[in-house]
Amino acid sequence: MIKVEKLTNYVKKINYQHLRKKIFGNVTTDGLVFKIFVYLLLIGISYVFVYPFIRMILLSFMSQKDVLDNEVYWIPSKFTLESLRRACEVLGLPRNFKEWFNFKKVFKSSLMNSIKISTLYGLIQTLVAALTGFAFARFKFKLKNFWFAMVIFSFIVPLPVVMVPRIMMFETIQMKVKVLGTIYPQLFLTLFGQGVNNAILILIFYNFFKMIPHSLDEAARIDGANSLQVFWHIFIRMSLSIIVTVFLFAFVWNWNESYMTSTFLRYKIPLLPMNLSIFDSTFSNLYGGSNSAEQIRINESYKMAGTLITMLPLIILYIFAQRQFIEGIERTGITGE
Amino acid sequence: MNNNKKKQIIKAIKSNLGGYLFLAPWLIGFLVFTGIPFLYTFYLSFTNVNQTALGWQIKWNNFENYNDIFFKNTQFLPSLLEFIIMQVLYVPVILVISFILAVLLNQDIKGRAILRTIFFLPVIILSGSVMQQFISSGAANFASINSIFIFHIVSNYSRFFAQIIEVLFVNFTIVLWFTGIPIILFINALQKIDHQLYEATQIDGASWWQILWKITIPMVKSTALVVTIYTIVNLGLYNIRPRQSNITAIYDLIKNALGVTSNGLGYASAYAVLYTIVVFILVGFALLVLRNRDKVKVVESLQERQQKKLAWIQKRNKKKLMKGVNKND
């Protein structure tokens, strides 16, 4: 009897309203149920996001036997580097540990080509975008709004529609000087501000420069600085962090660009993503192709290993610079205006 | 006074000069590589372009290219249709999903930074060739809904819709990968909304559903427009198809046409022109749907209207009077 009384007392003591508020929430706070729901949803969606990447990574470490084994789906029974090695060979990279230390060879590989070219284009693109952004942020000139609209237009207009005259242009030059198959066509494009997603980079600079107070450059002008000096000593100095961000974006986009690269470079200079896109044909040239179902599955693991290798430099970059990337997009300032 | 005006003019000239000086690299590039080529392609699409040893031979041939595309070529129209289906299907899905994710991420949630990092990852590492490898190897295939009962019902009604829904589910991962930048833009827009607005509506007794529709969505509408345009542009860059078929993606089709020696460029430009028109129509449609409609309408008060009417009558009477005077003369 005493025990039951105690229990009923205990039950009476519970503040039901409080409990209800904790579980289901009210107007001002979210309840536990809602929070759990949100977490489950987010975790579920992020699983869908990264699922292919996880699968890719694990597949590229699997041995041939594991790939064919239906019981092995996620965790390889033995980690091997065999697929990665093959993929390295197909992508034009050194395949042994020893060869990776042969710097002469590494320096000529597709990886280094990609890094060199993306860096070059990225730097030029950053500089041109900064100049353009500065012009829009600080000067009043005729047709300013029109040209600004044209910046947006150049983002929306699909590449194929401007590609035909560009090709004709460079083919005409090709008769006098060899430019196709070299880096020069794209170098010209980036030099004149028509690189990959250049409009976004301009917007990032434009919005950042607009935030810099006018009094700063006015003071410099009174001291006798000209526009170029103002640009260099005030704007560039003040926006080093944004320059890094823009450069990173330009680097990544140039790395990933395939449309212009394949038309102008024509596979003459091996690049990592280019080699990935012709992975199949290179592979069958090297090892001979057979079309049995087993072989196709094994080839898939090679392809995934190749994809992993192509992504790896970018993933490493992203790990170190994720904050810059995300802030960069926030700073385009296209929201809210 | 005069001196002041002179100074102003000099200042304006200086500003113009400086502006165009800094703009010059981009401006030249835009005119030479984008602006003029854009217009030139329209011209080329009506011509027959051949490469000879001497240079380019361009011959006007009226609507021949378009005639071929619409009535002879069997490749282009299916690809274009496929492209339109993909855009119409994927863009709203991406828009809605990225908005929902942004709203969820904008809350007080642990591990927000990690989730944001994950959602942004595809922006960095996705390229055309990587996407192609993922699709061809089937690693991106997420769920197959073939065995679900409802799917069979849909399938019985329309094979076409069933295919589309199926591919949307199978490619769900790929659709999600396009939400990277939209999520960041939406979060940014959500953070710019004044908190006092929410509090005021909460005091007035609005539920979260009402707040969502009356405050949040109208406030992020301009961002939604940017996101939509970005997605339309971005989707065109990848070789994805709305359903499993052997129709060539339109980007590849144009690229293949570039390699054809006899009038390849003429066809390619006609393709590109049609493709561009479709993209512009889609963007225009997005503008139409998501434009700001809440501009303050000037509602004339009764008094103002009466005054206007009065002025109009007076004017008319004056004219009549003048006419009368003229006749009398």
Examine the domain organization and report whether A144 and A232 are in the same domain: yes
Which domain range does residue A140 map to? Answer: 103-277
Nearest CA in chain A to B113: A323
Of B27, B55, B254, the CB nearest to A160: B254
The confidence band for A337, taking pLDDT boundaries of 50, 70 and 90, is very low
One domain, residues A80 and A109:
no
- Domain membership of residue A333 (yes or no) is no
Res A336: pLDDT? 43
**B104, B121, B254 ranked by CB distance to A318: nearest:** B121
Substitution target in A46, A161, A221, A277 with the highest count of B β-carbons within 10 Å is A161
Between positions 56 and 115 of B, the ones with CB within 8 A of A are 56, 101, 104-105, 107, 109, 115
Residue B159 has pLDDT above 90, yes or no: no
- Residue A254 placed within a domain: yes
Is residue A201 domain-resident? yes
A26: pLDDT strictly greater than 90: no
B295 pLDDT exceeds 60?
A: no
Please give the pLDDT value at position B97.
92
CB contact under 8 A, B25 and A193: yes
- Tell if the CB–CB gap between A300 and B138 is shorter than 8 Å: yes
Mean pLDDT score, A248-263: 88
Q: Provide the pLDDT confidence category of residue A278 given band limits of 50, 70 and 90.
A: confident
Total tally of structural domains belonging to chain A: 2
Task: Identify which of A123, A121, A147, A122 has the alpha carbon closest to the alpha carbon of residue A135.
Answer: A147
**Model pLDDT for residues B118-136, shown as the tens digit of each residue:** 888 888 888 878 887 887 7
CA–CA gap between residue A173 and residue A166 (Å, rounded): 11
Asked if residue B54 has pLDDT above 70, the reply is: yes
CB contact A222 to B (< 8 Å):
no
pLDDT of residue A251: 93
Which of A277, A296, A311 is the endpoint of a domain? A277
* A271, A326, A332: best to mutate for the B interface, most B CBs within 10 A: A326
Q: Is residue A335 predicted with pLDDT exceeding 60?
A: no
- The pLDDT confidence band at residue B243, using thresholds 50, 70 and 90, is low
The pLDDT tens digits for A153-184 are: 999 998 888 988 998 888 888 888 888 888 88
* pLDDT exceeds cutoff 60 at A70: yes
List the CATH number of the domain containing A129. Answer: 1.10.3720.10
Sorted by where each starts, the structural domains of chain B and their CATH numbers stand as 2-65 (no CATH), 75-290 (1.10.3720.10)
Supply the mean pLDDT for chain B. Answer: 83
Residue A40 lies in a domain: yes
The more confident residue out of A139 and A289 is A139
A59 neighbors B183 (Cβ within 8 angstroms): no
Check whether residue A71 and residue A127 sit in a common domain: no
**Residue A41, number of CB atoms within 10 A of its CB:** 13
> Quick check: B316 pLDDT over 80?
yes
Q: Are residues A20 and A125 in the same domain?
A: no
Stretch A247-262: mean pLDDT: 89
Contact B117 A322 (CB under 8 A): yes
3-state secondary structure chain A: CHHHHHHHHHHHHCCHHHHHHHHHECCCCECHHHHHHHHHHHHHHHHHHHHHHHHHHHHHCCCHHHHHCCCCCCCCCCCCCHHHHHHHHHCCCCCCHHHHCCHHHHHHCHHHHHHHHHHHHHHHHHHHHHHHHHHHHHCCCCCHHHHHHHHHHHHHCCHHHHHHHHHHHHHHHHHHCCCCCCCHHHHHHHHCCCCCCHHHHHHHHHHHHHHCCHHHHHHHHHCCCCHHHHHHHHHHHHCHHHHHHHHHHHHHHHHHCCHHHHHHCCCCCCCHHHHHHCHHHHHHHHHCCCCCHHHHHHHHHHHHHHHHHHHHHHHHHHHHHHHHHHHHHHCCCCCCC
In a domain, A284, yes or no: no
Tell if the CB–CB gap between B104 and A38 is shorter than 8 Å.
yes
A75-110 pLDDT per residue, tens: 888 888 888 888 888 888 887 777 777 777 777 788
Q: What is the length of chain B?
A: 329
Contact with chain A for residue B282, Cβ under 8 A: no
Query: What ipTM was reported for this prediction?
Result: 0.84
Q: What's the confidence (pLDDT) of residue A323? A: 85
Question: CB atoms < 10 A from the CB of B186, how many?
Answer: 26
Residue from A277, A261, A281 nearest A269 by CA:
A261
- Measured between CA atoms, the residue of chain B closest to residue A146 is B27
Of A59, A85, A111, which marks where a domain is finished?
A: A85
% of residues, chain A, pLDDT over 70? 95
pLDDT tens column, A198-223: 998 999 899 889 888 889 888 988 98
CB atoms within 10 A of CB B287: 12
In the predicted structure, residue A27 carries a pLDDT above the cut 70: no
Q: Say whether B148 sits in a helix, a strand or coil.
A: coil
Phi, psi of B50 (to 5 degrees): -130, 145
CA distance B326 to chain A (A): 49
Contact A317 B124 (CB under 8 A): yes
Q: How far apart are CA B224 and CA A336, in angstroms?
A: 10
Same domain, A246 and A156: yes
Instruction: Give the CA angle between residues B227, B233, B234 to the nearest 5°.
Output: 85
Tell me: do A10 and A143 sit in the same domain.
no
Q: Which among A164, A168, A255, A282 is the top mutation candidate for probing chain B, defined by the most B β-carbons within 10 Å of its own β-carbon? A: A164
